[in-house]
Structure 1
Amino acid sequence: MTDDRLRMTPGPTEVPAAVRERMSEPTPNPDVEPEFFEFYRDLTAKLEAIYGDDDIAILGGEGILGLEAAVASLVEPDDRVLCIANGLYGEGFADFVEMADGEAVVCDAPWDEPLDLESIESRLEEGSFDAATMVHCETPTGVLNDIEPVLEALDEHDVISVVDAVSSLGGVSVPTDRIDVCLGASQKCFSAPPGLTVCSVSDRAWRKIESFETDSLYTDLEPWRDAADEEWFPYTHLVSNLYGLDAAIDLLLEEGLESVFERHEVAAARCRERATELGLSLYPDEARSSPTVTALEVDGRAAALRETLADEHDIVLATGLGDLEDDILRIGHTGHNARVNRVDRTMDALAAVLE
């Protein structure tokens, strides 16, 4: 079956043919066959080229699993967690903290403004925190946060950092060497199907994780520290998804990280140039927009535009989320779709619909 539909959403993204083909290969039993454990170790070694030297774990579950697992594994009852936010997912970390019976202290800023470094530093001076959470790229608004000054402030106060880099890792430079738990997912810049969480864990984070027992199995990171070496996983792993991720990482590394980052920058610039020509405004502004997603202000027309683009042009885009659901139209030049010809096809269609 031929599928000519172009899915320019900020995740899940288009899956290349090489990834789909790899997923069709016969699969070993991941619980008992040694070759699977060897394959898993090789895959985490490849991910180290993207993440750095911290331990890598790949969990069987969509990216939200990583956010919940990080909090469930690090936060014990009455721990204080600074939830730094200027968007939907940053605010959502507080829910996971409360589920773990921790105390969530939210330090938020408006969705169209930067993280409030002055307020963050003030909170850190006022009281001690066991961990802090934040988002690198807020996918619902396309905001790319400057997190390095925040990470520096957290280090000065010996606070463990948890960063959602789900929609930036593999498409944008992420300061992984400064982050204790850095969360990614298969379906964004890696351009593999949804179903896997990838995360790096620092030695400082492991010490905290191993200091107490959680009430969860599926969201507990502790068993993953030595799982590959001991050839035992806490649950049966998603072999075909892992094969797909392996093929996707091969494509990324063959291209080279710097080339991948540049490709995202070029595609983003083209998208925003075309949007300006159409008289559309960026949300929030170009200086803080991510190379992986462009959010356009359309004031109450997002759902109608998305429907028309899909029906008449076979192009799928995303609307906003939360209060901005019908006011923002999002174009994902993410992963495999970060290519000028795909951006041009999308913007040609959008121009036709707007006319």
Structure 2
Amino acid sequence: MNVTPGPTAVPPAVREAMAEPQPNPDIEAAFADRYADVCAKLETIYDTSHDVVVPGGEGILGLEAAIASLVAPGDRVLCISNGLYGDGFADFVESYDGEADLVSVPYDEPYDLEVIAAALEAADADDEPYTLATMVHCETPTGTLNDLAPVLDLLDEHDVLSVVDAVSSLGGTPVPTDRIDVCLGASQKCFSAPPGLTTAAISDRAWDAMEAREPSSLYTNFLPWRDVSEGFPYTHLSANVAALDVALDLLLEEGLDDVYARHETAAERCRERGAELGLERYPDPERSSPTVTAFRLPGEAKRVQQRVADEEDVVLATGLGDMADDILRIGHMGYNADLETVDRAMDALEAVLE
């Protein structure tokens, strides 16, 4: 059983949709109609009036495409980070010849609003304002849910575009999408569809900035997706789109408020069971995401993960990067945000720890 923070388990109805014969995405109108339906459903889940597009490519495509579409050589970008993916935005900026200013704090701390405000003010005072700022809603490697609202307030004051990685929060907890210029998601997390699709809600001012930028790339470029009435930029992943269509139906049929409540309930159960086992949560409880729980197991995470897989047939995840052997993660997102699933995972972990 897979109880990781993505790719998540896929419901039977979603798997069946993917196995059906598919219309030709380059030729048949039936595919274009399905794509339009998927975008409309995503607008509801994003709770946004912004345009939503769904390029073919795993979620990291969206992070890179946002930078490639908005950053010209020499542009200054404020990369706000308390995690691995927040740091990674700076790498993308530099790879497109932008100037990345990384404002980071330790991974178990919240964003430092005073430092962010000072950076924005200094850039304006030097007459070298930031083109955009990047941040992450849920840092999946540490289970951290960041409070975006106060940072978005600062960006609004300085008229700076915002790019947010909401890949592992969208569909599991509310995201303030209409306050974000490019809000990124992916099929394989809370939507519980197979990996392969990026989702992005894009504001009018972000589109305007992309038009002015005129990105040279085809694949890492959102602009060709703004109007697909004359066809898609490249052959789309028709089976993946069919699967996502059904996955979104399941969420909308359940109702988003109930979906969010289900995630909170699953998270609470996971954390209660962890506390009974004497496990310390990472980060502090106030900033833990309802979609993934990270427990501290310094120097033991990989060994415990392997034993749980070998002895209990349950797949958990460790941390990433420097914290790969210090954190054990349990994903209760999408189809896995279920009390029975959480209890099965925690029973397995308890058996190994005891």
The bucket for the TM-score relative to the shorter chain is over 0.9
- 1:349 positional shift: 1.0
2:126 paired residue number: none
Segments of 5+ residues of structure 1 without an aligned counterpart are: 1-5
The residue that corresponds to 1:225 in the other structure is 226
Conservation of the 8 A alpha-carbon contact between 2:34 and 2:242:
no
1:123: how far off? Answer: 0.5
- The separation in 2 between residues aligned to 1:221 and 1:268, in whole angstroms, is 34
* Deviation at residue 212 of structure 1 after TM alignment: 2.4
Q: Which residue of structure 1 aligns with residue 43 of structure 2?
A: 48
Provide the residue aligned with 1:173 in structure 2: 174
Alignment of 1:206-355 (within 5 A): 206-227=207-228, 229-230=229-230, 232-355=231-354
**Alpha-carbon deviations, 1:20-65, whole Å to 9, x = none?**
0011111111011111111111110111101211111101110000
Aligned to 2:164: 163
The code of the aligned residue for 2:109 comes to E
Name the amino acid aligned to 1:341: E
Residue 3 of structure 1 corresponds to none
Whole-Å separation in 1 of the counterparts to 2:283 and 2:25 = 45
Corresponding residue for 2:72?
76
Contact kept, 8 Å, 2:312 with 2:348, in 1: the verdict is yes
For residue 331 of structure 1, give the secondary structure of its aligned residue in structure 2. Answer: strand
How many angstroms apart in 2 are the aligned matches of 1:325 and 1:220? 32
- What is the TM-score with the length of structure 2 in the denominator? 0.97
**C-alpha offsets along residues 145-178 of structure 1, whole Å, 9 cap, x if unaligned?**
0011101110111100000000000001100010
- The equivalent residue for 1:182 is 183
User: Is the 2:332–2:342 Cα contact (8 Å) retained in structure 1?
Assistant: yes
Amino acid at match of 1:254: E
Task: State the distance in 2 between where 1:108 and 1:84 align.
Answer: 6
How far apart, CA to CA, are the structure 2 residues paired with 1:189 and 1:93?
22
1:17 equivalent in structure 2: 12
TM-score (norm 1): 0.97
Summarize deviations over 1:92-138 as a string: whole Å, max 9, x none.
00011011111001111110000111110110111111100000000
Indicate yes or no: 2:111 matched with 1:110. Answer: no
Per the TM alignment, residue 213 of structure 1 is displaced from its structure 2 partner at its CA by 2.0
What fraction of aligned residue pairs are identical, expressed as a percent? 66
Distance 1:162 1:199 in 2: 10
Q: What amino acid is the match of 2:173?
A: V
SS in 2 for 1:7: coil
Query: 2:100 corresponds to which letter in structure 1?
Result: A
Q: Which runs of 4+ in 1 moved over 2 A?
A: none
Partners of 2:71 and 2:213 within 8 A in 1: no
Query: Structure 2 unaligned runs (5+)?
Result: 124-128
CA distance in 2, matches of 1:75, 1:267: 39
- Is the partner of 1:56 in helix, strand or coil? strand
Q: 2:314 touches 2:345 (CA, 8 Å); kept in 1?
A: yes
Q: Secondary structure at the match of 1:90?
A: helix
Counterpart amino acid of 1:182? C
